Amino acid sequence: MQVQTMPSEERERFISSTGWKFIGFLVLAFALTPVFYGLPLLSPLFAMVTSVRLHTTKMVWLWVVASLLVLMSVAPFILKLAGLSNFVVD
């Protein structure tokens, strides 16, 4: 019976490097929200050039979160145009 030693690089981690990238892109989306309305959508676009794009569920979550953040930041203006709210001050 042979015992194989695993190199230190192949050890399992609690969160993989792709998981850390995913978390970073989520944080980026939330950080870009107060800057300008459509900027959270840049987070999933940037994720498309990394290894995160290979994980369909993570990419779907990024797009959903970014889209919801954009809708939340644009919602007062849409409601004002529809005449349903006077939240936006002229």
Residue 9 lies in a domain: no
Q: What pLDDT sits at residue 13?
A: 73
Token pair in block for residue 89: 């001050």
Residue 90 lies in a domain: no
Residue 2 lies in a domain: no
Q: What pLDDT sits at residue 82?
A: 86
Which string of b and e fits 62-74 if b means at least 16 CB within 10 Å? bbebbeebbeebe
Q: Which domain holds residue 54?
A: 16-81
Residue 4 lies in a domain: no
Residue 32 lies in a domain: yes
pLDDT tens-place string over residues 1-53: 566 665 655 556 788 888 999 999 999 999 999 999 999 999 999 999 999 99
Structural domain tally of the chain?
Answer: 1
Q: What pLDDT sits at residue 47?
A: 93
Helical H segments across 1-90, by residue range: 17-32, 42-47, 56-81
Distance CA 88, CA 78 (A): 10
Q: What pLDDT sits at residue 46?
A: 94
Q: What pLDDT sits at residue 81?
A: 85
Whether pTM > 0.85 for this model: the answer is: no
pLDDT tens-place string over residues 59-79: 999 999 999 999 999 988 888
Residue 63 lies in a domain: yes
Residue with tokens 């959270």: 40
Residue 40 lies in a domain: yes
Residue 5 lies in a domain: no
Contacts of 86 (CB under 8 A, 6+ apart): 80
